[in-house]
Amino acid sequence: MRKFQIEKSTGRFLGFDVGTHRLGYAAIYWTRSLPRIFKLGMIVKDKEFSFKNDFRKIESAIKEIKPKLVVLEKIYFSKNVTNALYIAEIQGLIKYACSKNNADFIEVHPRTLKLKITGDGNSDKEDMKYYINFWFKSKKIKNDLPDDIYDALALALYGSLILV
């Protein structure tokens, strides 16, 4: 008798974690019943701030990865209005790049993301890292990865789990 495994949603899922100086991204896919890393990357803000350059880099990642779904974290508050506005502008560039390249996107509240990945909506960064390493039983993930990459992996994983 053959044993069948339930497959998660197929396709690539791309998570973008937007920061004030850099943008982490992670693309994943599923094989059998395990998530796998397709690509990890970081887009660093140019010294000469340029929406055009940022857009090109974002669009290039989307074109290369060809995601089924792009996942962004909702901005829910910020003590620094300037940083919040910058993050909102970059998220706008990501949404435009998605629309231009026929990639669907969603936004997720941080607590919803944490609840789906760890089972606790109040998880801290260390809990998230632990569970990301648990989900991706992979040698590609190193403990010295920037937080932006871990967050992007969590976002991509979230997107893949909600489409099951």
The domain locations on the chain are 13-162
Q: Which fold has domain 13-162?
A: Nucleotidyltransferase; domain 5 (3.30.420)
Give the other-Cβ count within 10 Å of 81's Cβ. 8
What pLDDT sits at residue 19? 87
pLDDT for 47-77, tens place per residue?
666 888 899 999 999 999 999 999 999 987 6
Residue 138 pLDDT level (bands cut at 50, 70, 90): low
To the query of whether residue 17 is one of the catalytic residues in this protein, the response is yes
The question of whether 151 is a catalytic residue gets the answer: no
Q: Is the pLDDT of residue 80 over 90?
A: no
Cβ pair 160, 13 in contact under 8 A:
yes
Catalytic residue list contains 46: no
pLDDT of residue 143: 66
Mean pLDDT, rounded, for 72-86 = 83
* Predicted confidence (pLDDT) at residue 6 exceeds the cutoff of 50: no
Q: Is 69 helix (H, G, I), strand (E, B) or coil?
A: strand
Beta-strand relationship, 22-31 and 104-108: unpaired
Q: Looking at 64, 73, 104, 147, which residue is catalytic?
A: 73
